A and B are shown apart, each in its own frame.
Chain A
Amino acid sequence: MLNDIFIAPFADMIAAPDFLLQVLWEGLVSGILYALIALGFVLIFRSSRIFNFAQGIMVVFAALTLVGLHAMGIPAWISVALTLGVMFILAVSIERIVLRPLVGQPDIILFMASIGITLFLIGGGEIIFGGENKVMITEELGIPTGDTVLEPWGGLLILQHLDITVVLVASALVAALLAFLNYTQMGRAIRALGDDHQAALSVGISLQTVWVLVWFIAGIIALVTGIAWGARAGVSFALEVIAYKALPVLMLGGLESITGAIIGGLLIGILEKLFEIYWGQPLLGGNTETWFAFVLALFVLLFRPQGLFGEKIIERV
């Protein structure tokens, strides 16, 4: 038994390094999407103290909108642009209708409000686009669907072109977001508001502008993750679950840490894949990816209540 847990898995890794590489790669693909989603959460939490329950449904909503617009005969890339427009309108509406009237309310009220947004988007999505599953317009968007086979150490490593595209696009988006946050005035405004509310007001930062911006960023993230995940799993309300994976990422990375979200996302993506393949499938009958991340996060929280990167104890949420 001890051998099965502590020795055999590592022996397997060493015996078949090409397969280990395959597992790591697949973990990375999920991980970078988790990181993106978690980043959206963190930006919204830092600037408005809302734990954005609606992030998951935003992924579904963005994917549904994209597919729905395309189904109306609109070319794929124009549909993408229009979907971005819809996400922007959504961000403005959320700020006007939900956030602005609720300024200064307790965190729990804001959390309830984000549940309200979720229910609204579920209802709205079903009424407009119908509840049945749809197929992501992967080919129409020019996303390659073949694969490349490599032979490291004489072994076998299969890289889906879809996955490569996802990793490249998601990494580029993360990099662009980091550059935006660190090297532009609007980005500084977003970070500043997360650090100190009063001081932010004193330097002329408008809460409303920042809120619209962070919700729009969350919308862009929702669209990208919606396309990436939808291309593998189809477009349905089940896509929502990818956003719930952000929860353990946030527990691990800390609710307020941008770096924590990115590293936490990658870490969870990779670790849950490793665990599934080397421990879950042989020992636990598989399907551990649904719960592993949560257990890992709880375990970390036992020792570091502030998360791996959090600087202070999170008393919100």
Chain B
Amino acid sequence: MKDTEGYVTADGRQIGGVLMELNNITLKFGGVTAISDISFDIHEGEIRAIIGPNGAGKSSMLNIISGFYTPTIGELWYKGEKRPQMRPYEIARMGVARTFQNIALFEGMTVLDNVMTGRLTHMHAGVAAQALWYGKARAEEIANREIVEKVIDFLEIQSIRKTPVGRLPYGLKKRVELARALAAEPSILLLDEPMAGMNVEEKEDMSRFILDVNDEFGTTICLIEHDMGVVMDLSDRVVVMDYGKKIGDGPPDEVRNNQDVIDAYLGVPS
């Protein structure tokens, strides 16, 4: 592994060592190369952004990290170990939580139940047997509920706890999806365009929540975002992708002044 030391951000926060490292990742769908030979790392405690124009391969990258896609070439290191090929649910249980670009919630279930499913990553083996043991199941249920209620308070969605998710407006759904991911107490939180389709006020709320999560729980966050202003405000370091290639990587200010990036992305009004 390379620099495991960590670094200090522009605003003086101490960032930890490397949590995840992606080496020479290439992803092909038949003839289409969605990602070609990209490497970057994510440090513990930082907010890492991935930006780029439509179809650049950003979501594909998040899908690789969360195990929904398997890279054609390349390897992924997590917590100092090379990650073998695993299924998404196994990766989730290793502390990788995520939200989706097109919200993926359990529409028929209440907000509370949706967030409770976030705790499934913490369920122990042999659960079927445990579930039959009433006392044990109950103790676990109570412990999970406590954490979930904290998350619900934190994201200020108490008033809709019992509402079926299918009835919520778009902006709140995004927030519930974040709550579900947070309930897992993840080591790394992946957010695919958490602010897409929101109005200015909702965007501000969401930005604040993301910063607060990172600040209060020290959660490592990797997010995709189109809105440059938001990215500049939120992230510690930015990876810029274009047509499946990495064309920039560094702190927001540095990336903003990179000519390739300006040509490929910032020049294009979004």
Contacts and interface: CB of A to CB of B under 8 A. Distances in A.
A191 B131 contact: no
Contacts, number: 100
A227 to B, nearest CB: 20
Interface string A183-215: 111101101101110111111111101001100
A180 interface: yes
Contacts of B109: 188, 191-192, 195
A28 B103 CA distance: 42
B121 interface: yes
B127 A203 contact: no
B141 interface: yes
B8 interface: no
Nearest to A195: B106
B119 A202 contact: no
Contact of A202 (B92, B107, B116): B92
Place the interface of chain B in its size category: 35 or more
Interface string B88-99: 111011000110
B120 interface: yes
Contacts of B93: 204
Interface in A144-191: 180, 182-186, 188-189, 191
A189 B144 CA distance: 14
Contacts of A207: 89
B238 to A, nearest CB: 24
Contact of A188 (B89, B90, B92, B116): B116
B13 to A, nearest CB: 28
A196 B118 CA distance: 14
Given A198-B100, A201-B68, A202-B92, A185 B106 contact: no
B105 interface: yes
Contacts of A198: 68, 100, 104
Interface residues of A, number: 27
Given A191-B108, A195-B108, A199-B104, A204 B92 contact: yes
A204 B89 contact: yes
Given A196-B104, A199-B100, A202-B88, A186 B128 contact: yes
A183 B141 contact: yes
Given A184-B141, A199-B100, A201-B92, A189 B117 contact: yes
A203 B131 contact: no
Contacts of B219: none
Contacts of A203: 89, 92, 97, 117-118, 120-121, 180, 184
Contacts of A199: 100, 104-106
B137 interface: yes
B89 A205 contact: yes
A278 B47 CA distance: 72
Given A188-B116, A202-B66, A209-B128, 16 more contacts: A185-B127, A185-B140, A188-B120, A189-B120, A191-B108, A192-B109, A192-B117, A196-B106, A200-B89, A200-B106, A201-B68, A202-B92, A203-B121, A203-B184, A204-B93, A213-B128
7 contacts: A184-B131, A189-B117, A195-B109, A198-B104, A203-B89, A204-B123, A204-B184
